Structure 1
Amino acid sequence: MNDPDKPIDRRILVDAIAEVKSMGREGMAHPSTKPVLTGAAVGAVAAALLPVVTWPIGMIAGAGFMIYKRIRP
């Protein structure tokens, strides 16, 4: 199940949850908080420009992408 060659598996979810929890505890002092908030803002702006996607979905996608890039560079 935990094949190291697979790009998506349970470890990514566990690492993402741990990262979000530590961001919540440390707030703006955590090194991942500012890039994730920036990704959320960029996603919201990009979604506002697209006719099909709403800004909350863009915000979640942008934040999710940045969390992924922080835990799997």
Structure 2
Amino acid sequence: MIDPQRPHKTGDFVYDARQELAGMLADGLDHPSTKPVLAWGALGAVAGAMLPFVPVGLGLAAGAGYKFYKRVKPD
């Protein structure tokens, strides 16, 4: 889900992802996507700490990347 105050999705995933990331970087924690992406990143890091074969950094990236994808993907 892209911020409703920003332009609507175009159907081009790369363009939409760049716009969403730019909005997250510009607005910080005020952007509606930042907190869920950070929360999923934290959950991934915890999972990475508990699983012996997954590094914490990989878990963080996987969790944040998954949530970012789910927020941007075309419906």
**Do structure 1's residue 40 and structure 2's residue 41 form an aligned pair?**
yes
Q: CA deviation at 1:13?
A: 2.9
TM-score (norm 1): 0.78
Q: Provide structure 1 residue ranges, at least 5 long, that are not aligned to the other structure.
A: 1-10
SS at match of 2:20: helix
Matched letter for residue 59 of structure 1: L
TM-score (norm 2): 0.76
Tell me: higher relative CO, structure 1 or 2? Use CA pairs within 8 A at least 6 residues apart. Answer: 2
Q: Provide structure 2 residue ranges, at least 5 long, that are not aligned to the other structure.
A: 1-11
Structure (1/2) with the larger helix percentage: 1
Aligned-pair identity (%):
48
Aligned pairs for 1:9-48 (under 5 A) are 11-48=12-49
Count of residues paired in the alignment: 63
CA root-mean-square deviation: 1.3
